[in-house]
Amino acid sequence: MTPFRYSRAADAADALREGAAGARYLGGGTNLVDLMRETIERPAVLVDVTGLDAGISDNEDGGLRIGAAVRNSALAADRRVRSGYPLLTRAIVAGASAQIRNMATVGGNLLQRTRCTYFYDNQGSACNKRIPRQGCDARGGFHRYHAILGASEQCIATHPSDMAVALAALGAIVHLQGRGGERSIPLTDLHRLPGARPDVETLLEPGELITAIELPPLPFARNSTYRKVRDRSSYAFALISVAAALEIEDGRVAGVRLALGGVAHKPWRAAKAEAALIGQTATEDSFRAAADVELADAVPLPLNAFKIELAKRTIAVVLRELAASEGRP
């Protein structure tokens, strides 16, 4: 590990001062410290932001405001989240281990980096994300976990967060603070697709700090879930995951939210499938047809082609289960 200076931010202004001078923000450290140990990241200064906003509060509009320093386990356990946004609780609990969830923060979870094994192998593998224009060894290598939507010639990595997939489905808003003041962006705009610059992963400006996440009110999110398909039942990243919420009126889809994990460089809001479902009869055929629409643009590689059918089946199963549970207390 390369030597670095550590400090603890007293408040957001303190953190932003350090950030403007080039410091990296440190949440639970569950990914950044690993990257530093492997010398993939070498920040000269770490500013610990875990003492900043760690509260969850009710918004006047009926939604929730979640401080960026809230621990993943605290968010998953919150009574309002469990009852009003159960897909978020399920997504968080599906991720990592209890120990890691106790450490990881909401802000840090969003900014964790891909677990592509070639990205972590800085001794022998070519990786455009680590070193621009070096090449991508995953393309011709073991790419079972890699992207089938929105990838580029330069990078086929996936975003590893489960929590972010649920937040994408919920239409969460990310609050930011930086040199230019405060701004808010949809969570679905926070992460970039890789394009020609896979090393640039978010739309954050240098030194910009995630201060909070906002969940808009979404009454039908009470009927929601998160399904993660993985190679083993615990402590594994998603091959495919589906976050979904469903509302049915008179046998037809009146409201639906869908997002996919394990398929792209960012949490993938399945907007085409949502549009295809609204007004349709809530049947397995409609669910499957919407999944077909969403996956029509998928571009697989030899070892991850199975993900297309897996994603379609998982979407259909999850929606079928939500249709069956709709209206139940």
| Contacting positions for ligand SF4 (CB under 6 A) | 114, 116, 118-119, 127-129, 136-138, 155-157, 198
Q: Measured from the CB atom, is 125 or 223 closer to ligand SF4?
A: 125
Query: Which DSSP symbol is given to 204?
Result: P
CA distance 184 to 177: 9
Q: Which two tokens stand for residue 14?
A: 């303190």
Shortest distance, position 128 Cβ to ligand SF4, whole Å:
4
Q: Which is nearer to ligand SF4, 101 or 159 (CB)?
A: 159
Angle between helical axes of 306-325 and 284-295 (0-180°, round to 10): 140
Nearest approach in angstroms of CB 200 to ligand SF4 is 12
Nearest to 241 by CA among 260, 225, 257: 260
Q: Measured from the CB of residue 174, what is the shortest distance to ligand SF4 in angstroms?
A: 23
Return the structure tokens found at 37.
């140990």
Handedness of CA 76, 218, 110, 214 (dihedral sign): negative
Residue 321 Cα to chain centre, angstroms:
23
Q: What are phi and psi of 46, to 5 degrees?
A: -115, 130
CB under 8 Å to 122, separation ≥6 — which residues? 38, 39, 40, 130
Instruction: Tell me the chain's radius of gyration from C-alpha atoms.
Output: 20
Residue 49 vs 239, nearer CB to ligand SF4: 239
Closest CB to ligand SF4 among residues 71, 265: 265
Residue 279 has phi, psi (to 5 degrees) of 85, -10
If one counts every other C-beta atom within 10 angstroms of the C-beta of residue 300, the result is 18
CB of 114 to ligand SF4, least distance (A): 5
Nearer CB in complex with ligand SF4: 25/118: 118
Number of H helices, E strands in the chain: 13, 12
Would you say 156 or 295 has its CB closer to ligand SF4? 156
Distance of closest approach, residue 125 Cβ to ligand SF4, in angstroms:
6
Cβ-contact 134, 127 below 8 angstroms: yes
Q: How far is the CB of 48 from ligand SF4 (least distance, A)?
A: 27
Short-list 109, 15, 65, CA closest to 212: 65
Report the nearest approach of ligand SF4 to the CB of residue 20 (Å): 28
β-strands 209-215, 64-67: how paired?
antiparallel
Least distance in Å: CB of 156 to ligand SF4? 5
Return the number of the residue (139 or 288) whose C-beta is nearest ligand SF4.
Answer: 139
Q: Which is nearer to ligand SF4, 198 or 300 (CB)?
A: 198
